[in-house]
Chains A and B, each alone.
Chain A
Amino acid sequence: MSSQDIPEENLPAEQDEHGAVSVADEKNPFADPGLPPHEHRVQDIDERAAKRSERMVALLFTVSMLATVGFIASYVAIPHDKAIYVFPIGHINALNFALGLTLGLALFAIGAGAVHWARTLMSDVEIADERHPVEASPEVKAKVMDDFRAGAKESALGRRKLIRNTMFGALALFPLSGVMLLRDLGPLPGTKLRHTMWSKGKLLVNMNTNEPLRASDVSVGSLTFAKPEGLEEKDENFQTEIAKAALMIVRIQPDNIKDKRELEWSHEGIVAYSKICTHVGCPISLYEQQTHHVLCPCHQSTFDLSDGARVIFGPAGHALPQLRIGVNDEGYLEALGDFEEPVGPAFWERG
């Protein structure tokens, strides 16, 4: 742009007589000098710059229109399962990419246009508005207090105590109906959290193969997940039952088992522990075969499976419950009862 062509009378120096430097207040140099004079933008003084801004805003709005057309075209033309490679993101869904970018551009261009319009063409002269205290004036307050007193007196609430007290009673009681209605949100806990599907004689079924496990299937160092026989994925209560019954099965050399009861409850070093963490119930799934440690990936509670599954690190509060197992006549692993203690997170009635 060439500032030589701007008419003289439009230049800031011609417009502001008292513009330039504010003279320091002799008495109080820190005093508020008041609003500084308005500084002109190039658009204020040069009509051609203003025209350029206008064209820019119009261009942005036009871009937005084109982007919306692009959105509709993408929606119609791009198959919804087409993947494309976009550097550096990788392979992504073409339709999602096209729709998102065209929509984003259509919206952004409207916003950019409006903001550019406001910043370059609308007046940027600062205006001061008065504030008024939020507090009411003493007269207003006095009037309100009088009104209130009059109203309260006319209601006779203070005088007729019987009405007041019974009204408070009624208002306090009726929400109880609402509370009662919430009762059937769920059953009472009872001993539900203490029992699982496991019982004497139930076979341990391999989660992956859906076949009962034989002792010989479990080798040292492996980690197997098991469920009780009779629990199928399509069962209605599968999710709720597996949330308590899920088992982890590992085989440890009997000599390496440090806990006496653990050895007793195992079958030749095959031990079955609840898979549900005693912290807040995540399934434990990381097994370190050399140390026999298992780690919950959610909150990193670590248990030692060779020592009664006691907690060796992390926020869990107690050891994983062990399921007592044996082998039936046909060589299949079976439970010798339910867990002796509740599985999963601790709760008040657990004891």
Chain B
Amino acid sequence: MSPMIEARDVTYAFGETPALRGANLAVAAGEVVAVMGPSGSGKSTLLHCLAGILRPDSGEVRFDGARIDTLGEADRSTLRRDSFGFVFQFGQLVPELTAAENVALPLLLRGVRRTPALRAARGWFERLGLAGMEHRRSGELSGGQAQRVALARGLVAEPRLLFADEPTGALDSLTGEEVMTLLVDAAREKGTTVVLVTHEARIAAYADREVMVRDGRVNAPAGVAS
């Protein structure tokens, strides 16, 4: 089966400092894959290259078999908006918006009208244990609540591929595991592919498989091709 998202010999440097030195990774549709590695190993840079946020210096990134690393910024932006969802370590909610408006944001950016977008957004609150918090702003939410709002925002538009970069990194272990359970349940229910960056083995254990990034290269575990 051809992969949904793939990096082929991707290199990327921040100035003179190489972050990726020929990284290869292939993720099939519906897979939940954890990208592990120590700090500075290049795992977040790999995620950003896969997601079209960064353009590799060399190598290829393919989505559904088509190269996306050669696309211009506008096309990559459209791709991110229409096909990808994102969850980051600190939620990065827009503080001026309510929780429901934050969740609705990807739909509004896709051109969905405000009323149906907010209706779809509110549908996530009960499921994520956030009922009654639709009107709160990010400053009125705990870390775990804010991250669940961020998770809903990442999934509300039913992206084919969700990128999660240390989604539990700012949470205590119990809250982090609750967020991971919700994330994986929602992804499995919708068949969403997930690329999860984490340095925590307990979080990676929620994935179907894991790969290790070391010194800008991807090492698959013994017996598994990446």
Q: Do A and B come from one complex?
A: no
Could you list which residues of chain B lie within 8 angstroms of chain A, going by C-beta atoms? none
